[in-house]
């Protein structure tokens, strides 16, 4: 049901043997709780955007892989939020044939780490502007600023930021070994989606970020629609290994610090949220260490600390999120 950017699925088959115990985070599908309409209707940004989770297990090359999905949806107060989430989940499921929904056992009252990290404390990314909104300017700069915002907080840095023609196909279960930020029409009401793969050692192997061009993306500090840098910075946080600090559907689990965090699972349309807060900094330092990365050549030092253990229980149903009106 989506248009297919040129060459999207061409020559993008993963190398045999490279994918063992692949784990995918489809992170933060920012969504709008309205029926998909003409792009002009989407210029109205009045909603809270909330994330919700879906973790899948998929058989792949004789092994079981995991797909953890975090979808940020907008609750516009019309009462259709749960139905919108349900529709998007079914759409995502359709892109991972044979996948079985799993209950993610991760619970925390502070920052939450995913079950992977990048062993060199860095990853190289590129930006593909193909398919962006015709009137959008400053997009490449916004993406670069979002990536760079994570680079001085701990022993972590995104590198690269070059322009590319590679497609961000990981969200369609198609990997190419390149970490790509790009544009792709999303199912239903999804705004943006980040998909991160990692191997059995817990080391990241690829992430792609897809942004739906049908939304009112802006890059300036005035007339803000959906602030591209704010959302992309949150997505980059998922790509480097962070989850949300608490469950917004259970407000008792969310402190003021949680709510202030860039990685909090809500974003208010029309606002700016470009700076990492104390909880975000604590998270990245817990994962990669406190010393800022040198600006020059990154040192590929293996990380010795043990990985957080991911525990998951197979459940043969899709668990729908609770709807919370904040």
Of residues 174 and 261, the one with the C-beta less far from Zn ion = 261
Burial class (CB in 10 A: 0-12, 13-18, 19+), 202: buried
Q: Does 51 bind Zn ion (CB under 5 A)?
A: yes
Of residues 54 and 166, the one with the C-beta less far from Zn ion = 54
Tokens (6 digits) for 116: 């992977």
Q: Which of 28, 232, 276 is nearest to 132 (CA)?
A: 232
Q: Does 247 bind Zn ion (CB under 5 A)?
A: no
Of residues 155 and 192, the one with the C-beta less far from Zn ion = 192
Q: Does 88 bind Zn ion (CB under 5 A)?
A: no
First to last CA, the chain: 33
Q: Shortest distance, CB of residue 59 to Zn ion, whole angstroms?
A: 27
Q: Please count the other Cβ atoms lying within 10 Å of the Cβ belonging to residue 179.
A: 25
Of residues 130 and 268, the one with the C-beta less far from Zn ion = 268
Q: Which stretch binds Zn ion (CB under 5 A): 31-39, 43-51, 120-128, 216-224?
A: 43-51
* Closest CB to Zn ion: residue number: 28
Q: Shortest distance, CB of residue 146 to Zn ion, whole angstroms?
A: 13
Contact 191/266 with Cβ under 8 angstroms? no
Euclidean distance between CA atoms 214 and 184, whole angstroms? 9
Q: Shortest distance, CB of residue 29 to Zn ion, whole angstroms?
A: 9
Matching residue, tokens 């900094």: 281
Of residues 184 and 267, the one with the C-beta less far from Zn ion = 267
Q: Which stretch binds Zn ion (CB under 5 A): 25-33, 118-126, 168-176, 224-232?
A: 25-33
Q: Shortest distance, CB of residue 247 to Zn ion, whole angstroms?
A: 12
Q: Which of 34, 105, 31, 112 is nearest to 66 (CA)?
A: 105
Tokens (6 digits) for 231: 């959302």
Length of the chain measured in residues: 326
Q: Which stretch binds Zn ion (CB under 5 A): 45-53, 84-92, 124-132, 282-290?
A: 45-53
The DSSP result for 239-282, as a single string, is HHTB--SS-TTSGGG--HHHHHSTTSSEEETT----S--HHHHH
Q: Shortest distance, CB of residue 231 to Zn ion, whole angstroms?
A: 9
Residues 6+ apart with CB under 8 A from 256: none
Q: Which stretch binds Zn ion (CB under 5 A): 51-59, 86-94, 98-106, 108-116?
A: 51-59
* Kind plus residue range of the DSSP H or E element containing 104: strand 100-104
Of residues 100 and 228, the one with the C-beta less far from Zn ion = 228
Q: Shortest distance, CB of residue 294 to Zn ion, whole angstroms?
A: 29
Of residues 25 and 166, the one with the C-beta less far from Zn ion = 25
Q: Shortest distance, CB of residue 12 to Zn ion, whole angstroms?
A: 25
Q: Which residue in the set 26, 28, 146, 323 belongs to the binding site for Zn ion (CB under 5 A)?
A: 28
DSSP state for residue 155 in the 8-state scheme: S
Residues 6+ apart with CB under 8 A from 216: 42, 43, 44, 45, 225, 226
- Report how many residues bind Zn ion under the rule CB under 5 A: 2
Of residues 88 and 166, the one with the C-beta less far from Zn ion = 88
Q: Shortest distance, CB of residue 241 to Zn ion, whole angstroms?
A: 12
Where along the sequence are the contacts to Zn ion (CB under 5 A)? Answer: 28, 51
């Amino acid at each position: 049901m989506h248009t297919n950017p040129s060459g999207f699925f061409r020559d993008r088959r993963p190398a045999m043997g490279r994918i063992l115990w692949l784990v995918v985070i489809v992170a933060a599908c920012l969504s709008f709780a309205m029926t998909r309409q003409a792009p002009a209707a989407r210029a109205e940004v009045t909603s809270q955007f909330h994330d919700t989770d879906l973790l899948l297990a998929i058989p792949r090359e004789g092994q079981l892989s995991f797909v953890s999905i975090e979808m940020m949806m907008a609750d516009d107060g019309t009462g259709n939020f749960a139905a919108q989430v349900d529709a998007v989940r079914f759409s995502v499921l359709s892109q991972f044939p044979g996948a079985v929904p799993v209950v993610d056992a991760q619970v925390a009252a502070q920052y939450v780490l995913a079950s992977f990290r990048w062993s060199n404390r860095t990853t190289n990314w590129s930006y593909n502007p193909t398919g962006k909104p015709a009137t959008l300017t400053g997009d490449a700069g916004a993406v670069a600023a979002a990536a760079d915002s994570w680079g001085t907080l701990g022993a972590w840095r995104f590198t690269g930021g070059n322009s590319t023609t590679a497609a961000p196909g990981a969200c369609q279960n198609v990997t190419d070994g390149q970490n790509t930020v790009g544009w792709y029409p999303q199912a239903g009401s999804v705004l943006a989606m980040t998909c991160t793969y990692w191997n059995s050692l817990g080391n990241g192997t690829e992430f792609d970020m897809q942004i739906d061009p049908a939304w009112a993306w802006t890059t300036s500090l005035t007339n803000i629609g959906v602030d591209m840098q704010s959302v992309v910075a949150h997505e980059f946080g998922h790509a480097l290994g962070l989850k949300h600090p608490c469950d917004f559907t259970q407000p008792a689990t969310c402190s003021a610090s949680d709510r202030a965090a860039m990685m909090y699972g809500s974003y208010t349309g029309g606002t700016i949220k470009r700076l990492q807060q104390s909880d975000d900094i604590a998270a990245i330092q817990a994962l990669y260490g406190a010393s800022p990365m040198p600006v020059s050549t990154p040192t590929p030092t293996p990380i010795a600390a043990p990985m957080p253990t991911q525990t998951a229980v197979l459940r043969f149903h899709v668990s729908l999120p609770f709807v919370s009106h904040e």
